[in-house]
Structure 1
Amino acid sequence: MSGPNTDFDPVEVTDVKPEAVDAAREAALAAIAGAADLDQLKQVRLAHAGDRSPLALANREIGALPPAARKEAGQRVGRARGEVNQALAARQAELEVEHEERMLVEETVDVTLPTDRLPQGSRHPITLMSEHIADLFVGLGWEVAEGPVVEAEWLNFDALNLGPDHPARTMQDTFWTEPAENHVVLRTHTSPVQARTMLTREPPIYVICPGRVFRTDEYDATHSPMFHQVEGLVVDRGITMAHLKGTLDHVAEQLFGEGISTRFRPSYFPFTEPSAEVDLRCFVCRGAEPAVASCRTCRGEGWIEWGGCGVVNPRVLTACGVDSDTYTGFAFGMGIDRAFMFHSGAASMRDFFEGDVRYSSAFGTEL
């Protein structure tokens, strides 16, 4: 009785037959030669040298052959895969050279040619906001008044009923110029423009005063030693708080959308009497429940602090040469930077002053 045949067991494995391996190799070489660019060659590589390619699958089938047939089949498949990989590498090198030569031709730039292309600039968003607010009041028939940022102490404080002992006059709040005996400061508000206007004009007066102001504040996300204010002044016969409320309601609606109103909270300012803090109806949640409870803009209050206002103090009118028995008036002030942050959603005031042109470009030419 003879034993089993261990030299050869005729197992049919189609993928590793010589004719199948040769056909897979020839197909791969033809595809490689026909690849016109690097992208096509990448697809050929996946199809003919990837894990699911015919030669890769044939290599896996070698283990199914009897021991005597494995060596020959492995050599046959290995030679075929080697030829394919060599062809891929050679074609890769050829196509890379062609790609670089084509780029040199197609992307050539003559740097000696003149150009009329200039970087497109953009105006600073704070300037745009200042002019936008001023335009609202010009539309109401008001005028724009301006004044110097380096101001006399009397105009910055005394004319506005801020006495010699008022805490705002100390070094902790005010930038004083040297020598001190000149009594000159960097203006802490734009109210001196109102004083100058009353000193040089006869009522009726309707002016808006935007501009830079300076205080010794810390420089952080919501404060700066230099910032921008806009103040309004009306001096005429029969002016009351009702006129002030109507004016601010109109401006709030124009700036922040229809239905946005204001409210007054009693306060104290030396240059107005009576005085009030102005709150703005939250333009995000609009003060409506239940949205107001989770509103990040007003922090659940439904209102946002906006500025200060009041009826012009008769002492200020008298100091500026206006007959306080004949005329009354109102005044208000608010931060332009803060208004812009409300309007645009800007997160940090520091972005306004760091000079990055990309920040201004993001807002273009219109708010």
Structure 2
Amino acid sequence: MPLTTRPLTRDDLDKSDALIDEAFGEPPSGTTPPSADDPPRPGYHAFGTFDDDHLVARLATRGYHSWFGGSAVPSGGIAGVVVTAERRGTKLLDDLFRVALDDGLRERGEAVSTMFCTAPGIYRKFGYEVISSYDTVEVPAVALARIGAPAGVRTRRATPGDFEAVCRVYDTWAAAQNGPLTRRGPAFPADAKAYIDAFTGVTLAVDDAGDVIGFASWRRGQGSGDHATLEVSDLLALRGDAYRALWHVLGSFGTVVGQVRLHTSGHDVARLSLPSAHWKAVEREPYMLRVHDVPGAFAGRDWPVNGDVAFSVAGDHLGTTNGDWRLVIERGKATCAPAAAPDGPVLTPGGLALAWAGAQTCANLRMAGHLSGGMENDQALDRMLAPRPIHIRDHF
């Protein structure tokens, strides 16, 4: 009987949960499993491939917006990709990704999709490439204890009434990067009390005018001594002295914990305030991106300079990006349409993802095998695509 790939329904929940448990392990004891009676998860869409009545592969997409080039770009987050053990390596993901991306993401205007992965090589076939990673780093608390409290910035504990101020700091920081989720929309309910209650504390950095210019959200964890850890989910600020003020508070735990563990990515400017070179990566999860709709991806964000350049894409296994394209940028807005690109640069699908995200220059793409053909448009592409820091702050 031929394989069938379709959206999953509530009637498929038990089969889907069993497949997830098979791949990722059973949930912790005491965890309440999802029920078919639960309301639908906003922005969540699951797809499965069936062999007769047996679910043999599944994945889910989540509706997000990500900051790229100062614009909030609709983007689909790919999660929970699973193939049953006996069918791995049999190309079941081909049709699954084709249906999920084309029938799912494109219909909702999500021209790009992103994912965390443990094996990037599996997903390069589908045009995904690593643009950054979600990192966990450790800094000895005793090193932070040497950071003095700066003048002109005070710290205090946040209350639910500070939620909008915290969101403004995050939005200002995130809009200046490439990659962070907007933390708006159905996946991020605006529940101020739930946000504050999720942490042991949220510490604010406040300037002389009383404005919130930074925050750190942290959990104390268990125990004390050299092996105890203070977990920091966010450490973000809009000024260097605000970073130092927040590090100073975190360093005050140096008498009871051995290290501060921070979730971060890329070249975090928070590191510039540290007095030592301590910054030990203890976990790193690659973050991949695919451009699925070329015209939609370029039209969906702002661009810093005007330009007109032709390029080609070749080798897309899913077929949606292959062809010759002409990119025209005027007054910050782009149009990208099919057009002849004789002897111009040729990008792989992964190279397109890296270039669009601003993660690599043309020179680096050529060295990595993601760009070939004529070099006369390389400088124009670099100038138009304008790489900027890439940061990831949310795991899904």
TM range (shorter): under 0.3
TM-score by length of structure 2 reads: 0.19
The structure where helix makes up a greater share of residues is 1
Higher relative contact order at CA 8 Å, sep ≥6: structure 1 or structure 2? 2
TM-score by length of structure 1 reads: 0.20
Larger Rg: 1
The structure where strand makes up a greater share of residues is 2
